[in-house]
Amino acid sequence: MVRKNVTIGVDLGGTKLMAGIVDRSGQVSSLQRWPARVRDYGQALSAIDDLVTQLRREAEQRGDTVVAVGVAIAAFLTADRARVRDATNLVGWRGRPFRADLAARVGLPVVVENDADAAVWGEYTHGAATGEHSVAMATVGTGIGGGVVIDGNLISGARGLAGEFGHLQVVPAGRACGCGSRGCLEAYASGTALARSARAAAADDPAGAKQLLDRAGGDPERIDGPAITALAVDGDALARRVIADLGGWLGTGLAQVTAVLDPSVIVVGGGLVDAAGELLLEPTRAAYASASSIRAVRQVAPLRAAGLGNAAGLVGAGRRAALAAVGVPTLVGR
């Protein structure tokens, strides 16, 4: 039996922690999900260490060698990926030397990426953007993240904050955004924005929102994204309308991304895309095509759904770790 070098990919978000063994073809095996929500810094280090230990044992049992660990994390990172700038949905992470602390725990090289950056790398290497030379990806969930690959380089920016598409301004002096600005795309085209729009619609038209209100026990403030997408899939008119409105904003924002980056493809993924599918993607594509500029000289780049689903970040992190394990710099293109 030929012994293979593999990596462990880890995906840590505000509500999930999962890890799996990632091979050179991007295939994930032995996927493990931590049974509870992990937010505290020390708790996260211990949980990831436990998962890595378990997965290393499984790899060894089948004759493979784990050479590195890659972590996709829902956080703002420094440009060198050594420290966490901030992590809104995690507790006690600001300023922490996460990469060094985890490497000390697991005894392996560790690569850390923002979750959207890891996702675009996964899609670029093994997903919907395989074979493309210039890729932009938006991840649409509770918020909106983004990642960019140009000529084989993952772009992180001078301060590690490149690709924050959710904070493009689409409405001057518009809705307040969690970042402190107003009119950001995230305030109009995220899961949080979807719930906000549906609640407002239900307050204005309770009869038209009967099914949504029934699911929320009659309280508009309890309407949430999963209920909206489930009812939209079932054909509810109001749920479909607010999703279509969101797609319009998303497409408009992605047209701005195209104007700046001129990608060969735009990939859209994340939990909201997984749940709503073409109900979201169709109006997104329409608005994106309509708002794209200088079409006389530039063909509009295709807009594709992510191919790896929820595994994109884990796969991307694992494959970034494989580069580090053989001495390839992972921060080329900063």
- Over its length of 334 residues, how does the chain's per-residue pLDDT go in tens digits? 567 999 999 999 878 899 999 999 999 999 999 999 998 999 999 999 999 999 999 999 999 999 999 999 999 999 999 999 998 878 899 999 999 999 999 999 999 999 999 999 999 999 999 999 999 999 999 899 999 999 999 999 999 999 999 999 999 999 999 889 999 999 999 999 999 999 999 999 999 999 999 999 999 999 999 999 999 999 999 999 999 999 999 999 999 999 999 999 999 999 999 999 999 999 999 999 999 988 777 788 999 999 999 899 999 999 999 998 876 655 543 3
pLDDT of residue 330: 57
pLDDT of residue 41: 95
Instruction: Enumerate domains of the chain plus CATH numbers.
Output: 5-122+310-325 (3.30.420.40), 130-306 (3.30.420.40)
The DSSP letter of residue 169 is: B
How far apart, in Å, are the Cα atoms of 232 and each of 56, 176, 219, 280?
Answer: 42, 26, 19, 10
Tokens of 203: 């307050």
Residue for token pair 């980056």: 261
For 68-136, give the DSSP string.
EEEEEESSEE-TTSSSEEE-TTSBS-TT--HHHHHHHHHSS-EEEEEHHHHHHHHHHHHSTTTT-SEEE
Q: 61 by DSSP, 3-state: which? A: helix
Residues 6+ apart with CB under 8 A from 306: 119, 123, 127, 128, 137, 267, 268, 269, 270, 273, 312
How far apart, in Å, are the Cα atoms of 332 and each of 76, 158, 160, 190, 309?
Answer: 19, 12, 12, 30, 26
**Side by side, which strands form the sheet with 134-140?**
153-154, 144-150, 134-140, 265-269, 303-305
Upper half-sphere CA count for residue 52 (Cβ side, 13 Å): 28
Contact 129, 135 (CB under 8 A): yes
Task: Round to whole Å and give the CA distance between 220 and 209.
Answer: 9
pLDDT of residue 333: 37
User: Burial, 219: exposed, middle or buried (Cβ in 10 Å; 0-12, 13-18, 19+)?
Assistant: exposed
Task: Round to whole Å and give the CA distance between 75 and 97.
Answer: 13
> Do β-strands 134-140 and 265-269 pair in parallel, antiparallel, or remain unpaired?
parallel
Upper half-sphere CA count for residue 325 (Cβ side, 13 Å): 21
Contact 200, 159 (CB under 8 A): no
Residue for token pair 């904070």: 167
